Structures are given as C-alpha cells and as structure tokens.
Structure 1
Amino acid sequence: MPLRTHRSECNNRRLLSFLMGAILSVCPALAFSAASGRPQPPSLESCRARFASEPEGREAAMCFYQCAQVTSARDAVVRELTALMERHPEHGWLPLVLGHVGMLSSGKEAEGPYLRAAQTFRRLQDAEGEVLAAINLRAILLAQGRTEEAWDWTRRVVEVASASGRPELHARALIVEASQLYEVELDLGRAFRVLKRAESLVFPDGAEGLKKQYLSVMSTVSERLGRLEEASDVNARLVELTRSTGDLFLEAHARFTLANVTLRRLERDHVPADRARALELARQAMAAAERAGNPTLVARAVRLTADLLGDTPEDRREADALMERCMALAESLDSDERRLACLWTRAERRAGVDPTGAIQDSEASLRLVSEVNDPLFHALALRGRSTVAYRTQPLPQALEHAERALDALEALRQTQSDASSQAELFATWARDYHRLAGWTLEAGGATGKPATLPFREAVSRAFAVSERLRARTLLDALVAFRARADSGDTPERRAQRSEVQSRLVVVQRQLLDPSLTSAGREAALNELQELEHRERDLRPAPHKSVQEFASLASVEKGLREDEALLVFLVGDDEDLSGTSAGGAWLFVVTGEGTHVHRIPERTRLAAAATLFSGLVERRDDSERGAAVALHAQLLGPALAGLPPTVRRLLLVPDGPLHDLPFAALRERRDGPPLVARYELALVPSASLWRHWHGEAPFTPIGDALVLADPEWALKQRGARPAARSRAGIFDEAAQLGALPEARREGLGVERELRGTRVVPRLLVGTEASERALKRADLPLLRVLHLAAHAVVDAEAPERSALVLAPGSEDEDGILQPREIIQLRLDGALVVLSACRSASGAVLPGEGVLSLARAFFEAGSSAVVASLWPLRDEEAADLVEHFYRHLAKGLSVSAALRAAQLEAIDAGLPPAAWAGLVVLGDAALVVAAPREDGAPMVSGLAGALVIVAAFLGLLALRRWGRSSSERSTPVRRAGDARGHRFSGR
C-alpha cells in the first residue's frame, strides 16, 4: 500500500489519548456537552447554596466544575473545594471535581485530587466514583510517560468495574483497557478483542456518550488492523451519532477516518469510482474540522485532501495551496507529527515537478522521525523516502530505503501479543513487499529497462523479499514446534485456558441444540464471543520470529531433478499516483537455476480466476477456454523452459491464485489438463518447503486412524437423512445429514491400507468422535483420515470446524483450529475428505486461513484437502483410488495424480477431481507395501518389527520418491462431461 494510505495513522495514538482524556475526564452527565453548547455557568454562590442543601449529592459537587468554566472564577472555585474537602474528608466527589477543575488549566494540579478521590471512593466501596477517578488519574500518568503506573490503574479500573455488575461501568472500563493496549503496548489485536467484549454492553442500550466512546476507539483500532469494512461501518455510525448530538470534534474525527478508510479500500480493490468518493469525504472532513475549530483535525483533513487531488493544473494549484496551509498549521501547532505528514505528502506531490524539493522534503522527514522511537513512524517515513527516490533518483537508492522500511515494519509486527494479530497487521503491508520485489527485478533488467544490478543478484534479492512476506506466523510456529521451544506459557495460564475451553464446549453444545430459543441463541452467541476473546488472550505468546529464510541458492540445491518450484508474486502494476507497485511475477526454480516471468497483475488475475472457478462448477466443459487462457498467462513460458526431467510442480500461490484449481488448467482446449503432465502440490512458501524437506526421514510404519461419517448430533432423533454434499455452516450444524458414502470410503481406506505396514483403525458413526481423536496415540500415526462435514467460516476462521461425534459430555464434536493445533502430530499425512477444507479467508502474505493450515501447525507434513464442496459419492471414489496408489508406496502427490487421472479417464468433469489438492510435502511416502507373510504391527508393537525391515526404513522414503513415482504412466484425458452441480 502506498504511503498515502497510512499517513493518517501517525498521530492516531496521540489523538486517541486525547479523546479518552476529553471524553472520560468529566462525569457522564457533562460528557460531550462543550461542543453542543451549555447554559450560562452557575455562580459560586449558587453552588455553595446547592451543596449546603445537598451535601452528599454528586450533582451538587459538579456544580463547582460548571462554575469553573468561567476562567475568572477558577481560583475561587479551587479555594472553595479545598475548604469543603477539609470539612467533608469522606466525600469522594469533591476531590474528583477539584481534579476536573485542575484539568481545565494546566492539569499539573489534578493528579493529587484524582488520587485522593480514587482512594476515598475505594474506602466507600463506590465503584462508579472509583472508576471515574482512576480513569482520569490514568490519563494524567500516561501523559507524563509513567506507563507502568498507568497500567496499574487501568487494571484497577477493570477489576472494580467488572465486580460492580454494572454493564455501562464495565463497558467504560473495557474501553479504557483497549485504549491502554493500543496507545502504550501497540497491541492492536488484544485491543480489538477487548472492544468486542465491550460491544454487547454498549449496544443497543448504552448511553449516547458511551456509544461515542466505543465507536471512536474502535474506529482507530479496526483501521490500523486493516479491518477496513468494519472501520468504514464504525465511522459511518459515529458520523451519524455525532451529528445527532452536535459533537463537532468527534464528527470531524470520524469523517476524516472514514475518508482515509475509503482511500485504503481503493488501494486494495482498485475501484476507480472510490477515488472521487474518497476526495469528497476528505472535503467533508475538512469542512467538519473547520466547524469544530480544531487545528489538528484541520491539518489532517487538509493534508488528505491534497493527497487525493490529481495532476491537472487546477488540481495542482489547489494542492499547492493546501500544502502551504498544512505546513503553516504544523508550525503553529509545533507538532512534529503534523510536520512529518505534511512533508511526506508534499514530497510525493513535488516528485514529478521539483525533484530537488521532493528529496529535501523526504530527507527532512527522515531527520524528524529519527527522534521518534516508533517503528511505525520509521516504516512510513522510509516508505515515503523510497517512493520519492524511485521517481527522482537511481533505483538502488529506492531499494535501500524500501528495505529499511520492511525492517521497521517487522519490528512493528513483533509488538503484537498473538500470532493472528501479527498476521493481520502484517497483511496491511503486503503490497510493500510486492513493490520492493518488483523494483528489485526491475533493477536487474527483468522489465527491459537498463540494469543497475547483476541479474542473478536481483533475482536472489527479490526472492528473499518474497520469502519474508509469506506464511510468517505458520513458519514461526513450525520452527518452534520442531525445536520444542518454550513459549513462556505458565501452569496458571494453562489452567485458565483449559477452564475457558471447557466453557466453550458447553456453549457450543447449547448452540447445536435445535430446541434452543432465539433469545437463548443470542445469549449463547454473545457468551461464545466473549469466551473466544478470552481464550485468544490466554494463548502462549508468539514464538520468536524467524530470521533466516530459505535463500534462492539453498532451494536450487535442495530440489531434485524431477522437481520445480513455481513461486507466484501477484501485485499491482501501479499505485494511485502512477508509481510502479511492483507488478506480478513468477519465479521458476529448478536445480539448474532460476528464471522469472512477468504475469498479469492482481486485479486481472482475480477476475480470471473467479470466472474459471465459476465455470468449473457448471460441470459442462465450458471452463476449457478459460483454462487455456490462464495456462497461457500463468504457466506457458515457464513450462516451456523447464528441464525435461521435471515431473512434479511445487506451486507457491499468492493472492487470487490460492483457490485456483491448477490441475484443471490446460495448454489446448482439446489437450490434457495440467495434472496429466505433472504431479502438483501447493506449498505456502519456499522456507516451509525447506522446513519439511529437512525433517528426519519419515518411517512408513505405524498406525492410521480413519474417522468416517460421524454421528455427531447431540440430540439425535430418528434416522438421519442423507446429505448431498459435505458442507455446512456453524449455525445450521444441527441440520447436517448423514454421509453414507463417507462410511463406504472409510471401509475402502481400511481395505487398501491393510496391505501395508500402516495398520488402519476405522471408527464410524458415534465412534468417529472428537474424544477418540484426542485420546489416540497421535505420535504413532502415519495417516489421519477424516471423512466428515466441514464448517468453513470465512469471516471468523477460528470458528471453522470439522464436525465429528462428540464422544463424551465434555466434547461438542466441533473440532476447531484452536483444538487442532494441540493434536501434536508427528509428520503424519492428514486427509480431510470434507468440503472446502483447503479454503477460507485469504490474508495477504499469510495465505489461506483454512482447516488444513491448522493441521500443519499441529505437526503434519502433508495435508490432502478440498478447495470446494465435494459430492459424497465422487469424493468416496476419488479418495479410495488415492489410497490404492498410496498403498503401493507412491508419494502423496503421485498417488493423488494417479487417482485424478483415473477420474479423468472415467469421463468425470474437473469439478469432481480438480478440487482435491496436496498441500505441504508432496514427496511424503506414508505407506510401504507389506512383504508377503510379514505380520501387521500396531501401536507399540511396531517397535518389534523384524530387524531387516527396520534397517530398510531409511531407504524407504528415497525409494518412494524416485522409483515408484517414476513408474506411474502418464494418461491422456478423456472427454469429461458432467451435469450442473446443484448441491451446497
């Protein structure tokens, strides 16, 4: 994402701190009243009389605060409150109001009164008073940089408010906690989850002031996390709420954030109409800031408006005038943050007409940011500097600044307390990696421009940038898994997490009960969300980030002569300013060297891939033309240049290519599909491929656990109707039908594996349970096969699940990622014969947040899963054929290819076979044929296998990856025709 889309974030934390202080420093009755206009403040005499008649009341004390709005009366009010405090030492509202009055001046005198108020209210066990006093005291401490003390008071606020049993007070405390997490800890993920916990306490019945507090903080946090749709919705709601209450300041803030979010969505989606919309919103924000009379907000809106203007002479004149005003406002505010933002914008706008001035501005921004200890500021300044350098200076200088920006970004990534938040924040910067990789290839002459770097050096450096982008949290987790790294988890946290997980089971069992009322369902869903957030907060801290990624040279050296690694990097050709955004590329890596090819940019590929997948669903051969076009755009030149020995393609997809069924692409309409020429596997990154490639030799002797057609319903009555497809959504799980073909499939898997040294154990119906899986001797498994329904929730990936039988009262049968990652598999093959088990939400850089991914984190080396819904009978046939070839000692990718070729020869359409894919270690051999007369072994008895067989284990994997795979014949595709798929 170009510089412009993040500039507004530079002072969001300071603004948020201001908002929290302004909103919460006074009692709720007075909050937000300044902007809407107050009646004439009362006199000191009237406040004395009111207090004399109501000495215990809060409103009588607050009268003095209203009186102090008149500057000339302020000293007298302070003397009066001080005297009253001496006469009423147990009156908590008097010191609280004295603190408020102190805040109207310099604020230096407010700390003592707020502390006394908090202590007094604590003695009186007045939860509301203590919370309000502590919130204000925390704001003062935070402004002074006393962060540890501020954290102590934040914890106290949450503790008291939670124990009070008052929803509004609890919500107020959670908002403060979220503010602390974001402002001080930079922990966006936890802040977001805390706010989500507050949401049900605020809406729909909370006070207007509380709603504005929530929305203002959530707008900032959700924008920073890249949750742009949520940020857009939140700010639109905040605009309407502030307009109805006359809150000019917050309206201006909300309008600015809404405009900036619209711009970020434009950069992401490339919808041309959004630019005019964003410019209109920026002008509205500027007008709102003028009405509010807040120079900081005016400066922000002025800068954003100038940034969005085009390059026509009229637009340039307007932008120049706005930038002059922006710089003047920054100077009047004496704000380095405003200077930085203005300098960034002016530098980029000047790059095309005044290169020297642009360089001076961008260098000035770097000097300013060097004084700020904040990786976000550094990343933004360096990003801007690299943009200016690209447009005005030799390309190597732009590369240097862009590389430094990524270093700062990765330091920012480490501030997040959980892996999913790291990935989410990282995703908002994915285009920076695309841009740097593309610029580096350009420097090597790959675009036809004169080279400024040796080609090999440019390709190696671009490949390294690509690896820094991909599947980082998964790689971190697997490296730690291999090393058995201590994540710092404590017995206390494990016990708390276990308690939360047990409660999650109870709530999800309620949600699976078809007799649950609507009100009960709503309450259960609210509790489920609360528990999910708590469970996330209790997880171990993320493992230390991987610093060494697979180099291009090491990958070339590690590939066998029959393998090629195809790494796709799918970016945009240009950003909004017309500057190169890196483009889209394909690295073709073999043992003989590496080539790069230009491919269509992201938006074009996204449209083509969506069209192709839709045509495949029709099952009428109409996809053939699209298959040929995509083959030519993505693979044509690459495959033409491959060494003739290559038979396996390891595909590293990016962006819209994650859901593409590569197996169904073809060179000619009447030609065979790609799978007829090559074995195929999807790999998240070259570094992960190296990780699996470097594992100890896998022993194809052990157990196979097969769970098929689970009878999962908690309150099953009567026979289950047969289901058309293996699909479902969480809220409709109670309606899922039986999978009779899955039971047949399980029997087929058991039959095929009986002839190998992997001993199968088949569980069906009520025995195919979550409890049975978790209690299995998982380290001895070589194969885990699950033929069941799957629930895939793209909006909440951690709710996706495989639906099994519960097996006990303390299980719900909903096997979700948080449980899968605790299974601790030891390199086993996992086969997920379930709908969409390889698909889900795609997070830029990180990849697909699928069920298959969770099994990798649990220790699997290879997963066979589906990109789309499976028809029950077709799935059973395809999987049974897959195991037949697997049992012969073929690798996972060779066995799947052989099964797919049989489906093609049988005339089945791509919808029946192309959606099943291999992910991970394609060369994994999990079963070797049992020698005639050799006994079957299982469990611990496997350790007693005869010595001759045991000594041959180290050679089995190599044998399975060479001799057996090469013996597989290449089949020609038949004329596959089918019918329209009408199932789910």
Structure 2
Amino acid sequence: MSGGRRQHARRPGLLTFVVGLTLCCLAGAAPPAEPPALARCEEGFLAHPEGPEAAMCFFREAQGLEGRDEARRRLQGLIERHPDRPWLTLVLGHLELLSEPRQAEASYRHAALAFRRRGDAEGEVMAGINLRSVLGMLGRAEEAHQWVLRVGEVARASGDARLQVRALILEAAELSDLGQDLGRAYLLLKRAEALTFPGGTDGMKKQLLSPLATVSVNLGRLDEALDAYGRLAELARRTRDAGTEARVRLAVANLALLRHEERPEPGGRPELLRLAREALAAAERAGSKAFEAMSLRLVAELLGDGPEERRDAEAFLERCIDIARKTGLPERRISCLWTRAERRARGDAAAAVAAEHDADEALRLAAEHDNPLYLAPAWRAHSMVAFRTRPLPEALRQAERALDAVEVLRQLQRDASSQAELFSGWASDYHRLAGRTLEAGEAAVVPPREALERAFTVSERLRARTLFEALVASRALAAGEDAPERREQRAGVLRDLSATQRRLLGKELSAPERTRLLGELQELERREQELRLSPRHAAVQFASLEQTEQRLGDDEALLVFLVGADQDLQAERAGGAWVLAVTREGTRAHRIPERARLRPAVALLSGLIERRDGSEAGAAAALHAQLLGPALRELPQRVSRLLLVPDGPLHDLAFAALRERVDGPPLIARYELALVPSASLLHHWRERSTRPLGGQALVLADPDRSAAPEGATVVASARGGVFGETASLGALPEARREGHTVEASLEDTAVRPRLLVGAEASEQALKATALDDVRILHLAAHAVVDVEAPERSALVLAPGAAQEDGLLQPREISELKLGDALVVLSSCQGASGALLAGEGVLSLARAFFEAGAHAVVASLWPMRDAEAAWLLERYYRHLASGQGVSLALRSAQREAWEDGQPAAAWAGLVVMGDAALVPVPAPEAKAAHITGSLRAWNLFALLCAVALVVGGFWWWRRSRAKA
C-alpha cells in the first residue's frame, strides 16, 4: 500500500490468449512413459478397478508423445473388456484432448452419461467439466452452457463441498470464456480459492488457478495473474505436469508482452521472443496441440520483418492454422488468421490482397461463433489491415466499427468496476483512432474540422465512462422481489466487515491473527460486492465538440490530452499523443511527446519538487514547453481558466508548478486550473439546477480515534497512514486549528458552518447528517490510499458508534447523497489511487463525485500538516469573498508562491470537477438576498394590512345591514 499508481493495460489482440484453458485434471503428470510403467498401471487397475486413481495412472505416465499412443491403446483395450468402468473413458478423453479435441468430446460425453446412470456424482461432475471445456473450445457455447447447468445441479444435490467448489469454478470459467460479467467470474473464483487453499487437491488447485489467472488478465490485474501463474508453475513442477508447465510458459510470455507494450524497454523484443520460443518448446514436449497453436502465433507475432523472419513467421502461422483446423479449435484459427493478416499487410501488393482475405475470414469466423471475445479483436485486426491496404478515410471507419465491438463487450459486464477494468485494456485502440484521425485532418485527407470533431468524440467515448453513466442514470435499484432481502443481507455483511476492520486496527495483533483477519476481510469484501444492487445504467449522450465550444465560458479553455504511443510493438503508427485546445472561438490540435517519454519526465518533476529546493524549475519549464506552450500561445487573451482533461501519466502531473521560463512565474500566476474527467461530465454538472443561496458547511477536523491517556498522543507531521497494518496514526493539531479557521471564515456568510472536532468528527455523525443542505463538506483527517485494493482506501475518522470502524471507504462515500456540493479533502493524497487507462484515478475524490459532489479539492501527494492548514486558511478566505472554487485556489496558491514557499507546499492541491462552482455567495449577493427577502416581507405585510382593512370594512357593512 502506497501513494504510487499502477496503470493497467494490455494489447486487445491477446485478450483471449487463455480462453478455454479450464480443463480439469485429477492429478499430476510425468515425463514420457516407458511401457513397463504403463504395464504397472494396467496391473494396478486390474487389482483395484473401482476408483479413479488406477485409471489416472495412465494419464500421469503418458504426458509425452512417446508414451501417449501406447497408453491410449492399453486404455482402449481395458475399456473393451470393462465397459462398466467410466473412469477409464474419462482418462482416455484426457489423453485425446492433448492431440484431438474432437475425439475427446465423444469420450467425455460417454463417461458423463455412464456416471449419471451409476449415480456417481463425482464422476459426472468431472466428466461434465471437461466436456463443457471441449465444447467451448469447439465454439458450441449453448451445448457447453447446458453442461454448466447440469454440473451445478449435480454438485448441489450431492452435498459434497468439493464438488460445489468445482461447480463454482466451472460457472466462472464459462463467464470468462464468453467475456460476460468478468466481475462476477472473479468473485466466484475468489470464493472457490478460499475453499480450495490450502487443503484442496492438486487437481482442484490447478483447475482453479488457470481461470483465476485468465480473469485477472482480462480485468487488467496483471500482478494477481502473475501470482496465480507462479502458484500454477510450482504445482506443475511438484507434480511433473508437462501440460500445465506449457500453459504457464505461454502465459508468462504473454504477460511479459503486455508489460512491454505498456512500458517499452530497449532490447525488449529479443527477450520476449526467447520466452515465446520456450513456450513453444514446452507445448511440443507436452504434445498439446492447443498450446502449440497459441505459441506458434505468439512467436510469429514477435518475429521481425527481415526476409528470413518473414518466411519463419509465415511457416509458423500456417502450422497454427493447420493445427486449429484439424483439431477443431475456432478461436485458435481466428487469432492465427488475424495475426497473419497483420503481418501480410506489411508486405507488397500481393501480400496485401492476401492480408485482406485473412482479415475477412477471421471476421467471418468470429461472427459465426458470435463471441464478443473473438469479435472485438477480429474487428481490430480488420482495421489494422485496412490502415495498410485501404484509403485512410475507409480505414478510420473500420476502426470505428472495431470500437463499437469493444463497447458491446464492455456492456456485457454487469459490474461497473469490471466494465472499467476490462475497458482499460482497449485504451490504446481509442488513442490510435483519435490520433490517426487527427493526422488525417493535418494531411487534409479528412476535412480538418471533421477530423477534430471525430477525434473529440473518440476521446469522450474513452473518458470516465462508468462515472459518467452512473451520474446520468437514475441510480434507482433494479426492481425485484428479493431486493429488500438483499439489502438486509448486505447491511449485515457491512456490519461484519466493519467489525473485522476494527479488529485489524488493533495495536497488539499477532502475525497469524492478522493473516486470518485479512482472509476474513477479503471474503466479506467479496460477499459485499456480490450483494450490491446494480444501478440502472441509462443511455448517455456524449458531449460533441460544437456543444463544448458553445458551453464554455468566454474566459475558459478546455485542454484535452490524448497520451498515446507513436508506434506499437510492430512499428505500426499508433496515433501519437495530442492536446486539443477548445475555446468558444474554435479548436486546435497540437502534438505532444508520446506516453513513453512523458512518464519519466513527469516522475522526474515530482521527485525534484519533493526536494523542496527549487531544482524543479528546469523540468517544469521543459514540460510546459512540451505540453502547453503551443496551445497557450494561440488562446484568446481573455482566457484565464484552464480546464485540464488529463490522460495516462498526466494524472500525476502538478500542472500548477509548470512555468514558461526557468526563471518565470508558475502557471497559476496567470491561470486558474481545474482537472476535469471529461467534457461530458463537465456539461452534466453545469446543467444541474443551482440551489438557493445559503446552506451549511460541515467541517470534520482532527478526528480522535485514540483512547490513550492525555499527553500520550503522538503528533503527526504528515497526513497519512497505513490501513490494516497500524493504528499508530497521530493527532493533527494543525487540522483542528484549520477547522476553527474554516468556521471563522464562513461565520458571516450565507453558508452556516458546523464544526465537529475530536471524537465528534465521526463516521457516524457524517452519515447521520442531512447532506442535501450541505454546500461545503470539509474533511481534515488522515487518509489511506491502497492502489492494489482501491475499495480499502479510506478517510480515517472517529467511529462515533460501536458498529462503525471510523474508516470512511469508497463504498460508503458513494452512498452519502451529497447535492451539488464542494468537498475539500484536507488529507494525504485524496486525489491519488489506482489508475485505469481511460477511466482515470480510482481515488477517494472520485467516490465523492459518485455521491453527487460537483467539485472536489484534494492533494496529489502528502502535505505537511502546517502547510496544508496555511494554504487552506487562505483558500477559505477567498471562498468567503464569493470566488469560485478554482479562482480561490489560484489566489491561495499564488500567495504561497509569493510568500516563498516551495512548490511541494502548494502545487499538489488541485481542484477537480466544475471549476465555476461558487459554494459561498459573494457578500453583495448575500446582501441582495437579504434585501430581496426584506422586500418580500414588506410586500407581504402590506398585503396583510390591506386584507385586514378590507375585511374590517366588509364586517362593518354587514353588521350595519343586520341592524
């Protein structure tokens, strides 16, 4: 756990590299068999013919090609003599699967039906799992699904916990293979993992780890995938399982390629090629045709464009296609076809014609099987070929079709977090299309204005999609009879989760107890996710470039960054990096350095700022020139506010510290700055009706979590801490003074301050407050940022009640029901967190946007307590005068700079969201409001007086008439 960030990314063409690898092996494997070993297997079966162990001896002793034919011959002979022993037929299917999957189908089906007749639940489950896998590999999804249902039914009826675990794994594997609801697949596998380790069989562990790694890759959780493959490799070594070793080597090679594409290193291709060749050799040793085909494709993809390498690649891909055709593996054939198409498109005219044929054939096969996991990369390859063989406008249209296929895959994910994680792996395709479109505009191949509009639309389709959809949607829970029950169950899980976290915060926990509680916490988190009722996701309308230009203020410019790569691994043009400068007068596009160059430059600037000696000036000026210089020179002079839409490493950049010259003033001397997730979200916030003047400012400062005696409290110098591993967070006396300063600053404004400090600054108090009247929510407290598990990040408050743990986490923040409020996080790294390409930073600040906030002020890095208090005191002084949220921050930061404070003291504080939000009305507005109210009361009093006079006159006339 740290304040760093991890960006997930992967090449979509490799999305399916482990699809369909959920074969169930009951035991380990061994080196090539010698006939005497097989003879001993036969003798063992004759002595003990009932159980699976004797039959599995043949599988263990026949992993290599040398012994496989002899093992199959002996098994077939035993089956003829003992037709009532279905374990023999099941093991025969295992051997056939390595070479002829279509033959394995018949054996697995025969075994499954035989086990069903015998009432053998374990046998039917095992055979059904393998049959489902083969049917999936052959593209027969509906038949495969029926066996998933059957296995689940048999496992539940058996009451056997081991079989129920296998059914969980099977259900998850099906979701993974079809690209559907990967979030649920992950949760099912994590539940199975808790039941399988440490006491499960080796076969069950293998069956679990392979799909767990697959799902982790497809969700961008590469570290977790590596861990799963590491454990799988250890099992393969211990059980001498050649097939599993081949699987792991192939997976490791693919993961290395994914990491290289995200962070290229000089000389990386030869190492990747070495790993791919090792995977191919392992597949050949194991005699696995499926792994051999996948390894051949990977080697061919990594080979260069020299004459000899071209010939080798063509031969490898021909072998791959031939294997896939003979073994009936459509996904392998599709992937080899699109790889060959991409390679051929780099050749001469004749090769280009062949490339188009391959691309069309891959797309036809993918459409025939109607699996989004095949269709999306097939469309992508089709567009890549078109960029080489077709006019650029036509290629751009093909690339747009590819993005449509990606978004179909995205919509199949029912969980917002898995949507974002999967979508992040396709960000490079959006960058490529946007960049190539802008290049087409530069060359006038596409009209320049049209190119800008189309590139802007692609950018909006990429940005913060799950956040935008969640805010646009009604957030109404899906109706259903079980909804109240699910809410009650989730509430119970949340109580248990809070209790577990309270125990984890204990100071005297032993290491074994902490490990046990962390495991319990993980299980509770999984159950809580499963019990969430998903919000309805309404259709969204993305902002167009024309709308954005029209809706910006005269003094505003929107700078949209697209930080892609200049070239991909195959040296194909990948779109490059750009900034779009949008104002009411129009839009201009400017090139900027690619992602691989910007990442170290941004890290260097952050490191120099941390030194606090002014040494960052040169780096700040260089980045200003590279990112902003051309765009700012062309802005109208009246522009004074920059709305920045960051991308990639720019999420880490302290824009406020950039400067035009080494000896010049920082950017905030000239401009207000605010970070905006997307133009569509900006429009959404600004279209919301504003609330009446007045309201409340709720301030929680220096929460007291300690029961230590007076005088024993440790004073912290920075606002930070480590969740789940220490409870030694110190008090924040400057934060308490800061709270009183905020209260005093707002005392004479239309926004009523309410200050809670110490034990009163509690999680319970915040949740109990009617937040719809809150215009400002200020939290001066420690924060914990966990980039590996963003849901565990938290603002650390006092508990306030026995059922609370004092850890205000994203799942709780998003349910606070804030109005269009300003949230100020005076804490460590409230703007930091895990970074998902396209979606942005999964920070505490983001959770407050989900809760309804329109603007959040938070820090990119840990701030010293006294410096944070000084800066925020001035910020509130400017807010109280009626300044908007970004102008007030600029004023405070400028004062800090003029005061001689280092950039580390002020440049890390950022405004996110609607920079134009004015949470505190100006004094004149308050006066006008009061005057208007008095006038209204005076008019009301006058009307009442007239009514009394008229009523009195009428009563007098009526009395006289009666007399």
Taking structure 2 as the reference length, the TM-score comes to 0.87
Name stretches of at least 5 consecutive residues in structure 1 with no aligned partner: 83-92, 122-127, 938-943, 952-984
Matches within 5 A, 1:59-78: 70-78=75-83
What is the aligned counterpart of 2:807 among 772, 794, 814? 814
Number of aligned pairs? 905
Q: Does 1:609 align with 2:610?
A: no
* Structure 1 residue 512 displacement after superposition: 0.6
The alpha carbon displacement at 1:297 in A equals: 1.9
List per-residue Cα deviations over 1:200-242 (Å, max 9, x = no partner). 4444554333332232222322222222233234334433432
Q: Is the partner of 1:75 in helix, strand or coil?
A: helix
CA 1:534/1:635 → structure 2, altered by over 3 Å: closer, same or farther? same
Equivalent residue in structure 1 for 2:458, among 465, 475, 500:
465
Aligned AA (1:73): L
Is the 1:566–1:588 contact (alpha carbons within 8 Å) kept by the matching residues of 2?
yes
Q: Which residue of 2 aligns with 1:630?
A: 623
Matched, 1:259 2:260: no
Is 1:395 paired with 2:388?
no
Task: Please name the residue that 1:381 is paired with.
Answer: 378
Note if contact 1:616-1:623 (Cα within 8 Å) is conserved in structure 2: yes
* d(CA) in 1 for partners of 2:937, 2:269: 68
The residue that corresponds to 2:19 in the other structure is 13
**Contact 1:766-1:805 at 8 Å conserved across structures:** yes
Cα distance change, pair 407–141 in 1 and its aligned pair in 2 (3 A): closer
Q: Percent identity?
A: 55
CA distance in 2, matches of 1:849, 1:771: 24
Give the conservation status (yes or no) of the 8 Å contact 1:36–1:247: no
**Among 856, 870, 882, the residue aligned to 2:849:** 856
CA 1:315–1:783: 2 relative to 1, 3 Å: same
| Residue 86 (structure 1) aligns with | none
Tell me which residue corresponds to 2:38. Answer: 40
Could you say if the C-alpha distance between residues 404 and 97 of structure 1 is closer, same or farther in structure 2, counting changes exceeding 3 Å? Answer: closer
Q: Distance in 2 between matches of 1:200 and 1:2?
A: 25
Give 1:742-761 correspondences, 5 Å limit: 742-761=735-754
2: CA distance, partners of 1:342 / 1:4: 18
Residue 114 of structure 1 and its aligned partner are, at CA, apart by 3.4
SS at match of 1:15: coil
Q: CA deviation at 1:487?
A: 3.9
Aligned 8 A contact 1:698 1:925 in 2: no
**CA distance, structure 2, for counterparts of residue 410 and residue 468 of structure 1:** 9
Aligned mate of 2:173, from 171, 175, 179: 179
Is the 1:707–1:763 contact (alpha carbons within 8 Å) kept by the matching residues of 2? Answer: yes
Aligned to 2:431: 434
> C-alpha displacement at 1:794, in angstroms?
1.1
Amino acid corresponding to residue 21 of structure 2 in structure 1: L
Distance in 1 (CA, whole Å) between partners of 2:780 and 2:382 is 53
CA-CA distance at 1:946 after TM superposition: 6.0
In structure 2, distance between residues paired with 1:818 and 1:950: 49
AA in 1 matched with 2:20: R
How far apart, CA to CA, are the structure 1 residues paired with 2:264 and 2:134? 43
Answering whether residue 551 of structure 2 is matched by residue 558 of structure 1, we say yes
Does the C-alpha gap of structure 1 residues 155 and 596 become closer, same or farther in structure 2, counting only changes over 3 Å? same
Q: Distance in 2 between matches of 1:780 and 1:234?
A: 48
1:707 aligned residue:
700
In structure 2, the residue matched to 1:981 is: none
SS of the equivalent of 2:727 reads helix
Tell me if the contact between 1:750 and 1:761 (Cα under 8 Å) persists in the aligned partners: yes
Cα 1:37/1:592, change in 2 over 3 Å: farther
Residue type of the alignment partner of 2:764: R
Q: Map 1:98-497 to 2 at 5 A.
A: 105-117=106-118, 135=129, 145-146=142-143, 149-153=146-150, 155-156=152-153, 171-184=165-178, 186-354=180-348, 355-445=352-442, 450-480=443-473, 483-488=474-479, 490-497=483-490
User: Structure 1's 723 and 636: CA in aligned 2 closer, same or farther, altered over 3 A?
Assistant: same
Question: What per-residue deviation string (whole Å, max 9, x for no partner) do you get for residues 338-381 of structure 1?
Answer: 33222212222222223222222222222322312122222211
1:135/1:282 Cα in 2 relative to 1: closer, same or farther (>3 Å)?
closer
Q: 1:836-886: CA deviations, max 9, x gaps?
A: 001111110000110000000000000011111011111111111111111
Matching of residue 654 in structure 1 with residue 650 in structure 2 = no
Alpha carbons 1:98, 1:113 under 8 Å: kept: no
Per-residue deviation, 1:567 = 0.5
Answer whether contact 1:99 1:109 (CA < 8 A) is retained: no
Deviations 1:167-220 (A, max 9, x none): x66654443342233235622222223323333444455433333223222232
How far did residue 148 of structure 1 move? 5.8
What corresponds to 1:798 in structure 2?
791
Aligned to 1:124: none
Query: Does the 8 A contact of 1:47 with 1:64 survive in 2?
Result: no
How far residue 485 of structure 1 moved from its aligned partner, in angstroms, is 3.7
Alpha-carbon distance between aligned partners in 2 of 1:633 and 1:934, rounded to the nearest angstrom:
47
Q: Which moved more, 1:367-376 or 1:628-637?
A: 367-376
Amino acid at match of 2:582: V
SS of the residue 1:212 aligns to: helix
Are residues 700 and 2 of structure 1, via their aligned partners in 2, closer, same or farther at CA, if it must alter by over 3 Å?
closer
In structure 2, the partner of 1:957 is none
8 Å CA contact 2:30, 2:239 repeated in 1 = no
Using the TM superposition, give the Cα deviation of residue 96 of structure 1 relative to its aligned residue in structure 2, in angstroms: 9.7
1:869 counterpart residue number: 862
> 1 CA distance for matches of 2:545 and 2:824?
31
Q: Aligned residue for 2:824?
A: 831
Q: Equivalents in 1 of 2:325, 2:364: separation in Å?
A: 16
SS of alignment partner, residue 507 of structure 1: helix
Instruction: State the AA in 1 paired with 2:116.
Output: L
Query: Hey, what's the Cα distance between the residues in 2 that align with 1:333 and 1:134?
Result: 20
Distance 1:151 1:701, change over 3 A: farther
Aligned match of 1:913:
906
Q: Aligned in 2, Cα 1:788/1:488: closer, same or farther, shift over 3 Å?
A: same
Q: Which amino acid aligns with 1:219?
A: A
Q: Which fold has the larger relative contact order, with Cα–Cα distance below 8 Å and residues 6 or more apart in sequence?
A: 2
Contact 2:18 2:251 survives alignment (8 Å): no
Superposition deviation, residue 627 in structure 1: 0.9
Q: 1:427 to 1:44 in 2, by over 3 A?
A: closer
Q: For residues 868 and 129 of structure 1, what CA distance do their matches in structure 2 show?
A: 57
AA paired with 2:492?
Answer: E
Q: 1:890 and 1:537 mapped to 2: Cα distance?
A: 44
Which residues of 2 match residues 972-983 of structure 1 at below 5 A?
none
Structure 1: distance between partners of 2:937 and 2:629:
45
Provide the C-alpha distance between the structure 1 equivalents of 2:587 and 2:673, rounded to a whole number of angstroms.
19
Deviations 1:883-902 (A, max 9, x none): 11111111111111111122
Q: Deviations over 1:569-615 (max 9, x none)?
A: 10001111111110000000001110111011111111111101111
Contact 2:490 2:528 in 1 (8 A): yes
Cα distance in 2 for partners of 1:838, 1:686 equals: 19
| Separation in 2, partners of 1:187, 1:933 | 51
> What does residue 614 of structure 2 align with?
621
CA contact (8 A) 2:112 2:124 kept: no
- Equivalent position SS for 2:174: helix
CA shift for structure 1 position 694: 0.8
User: How far has the Cα of 1:729 moved from its partner?
Assistant: 1.4
2:79 partner amino acid: R
1:760-785 Cα deviation digits (max 9, x unpaired): 11000000000000000111111111
User: Structure 2 vs 1, CA of residues 138 and 35 (structure 1 numbering), >3 Å: closer, same or farther?
Assistant: farther
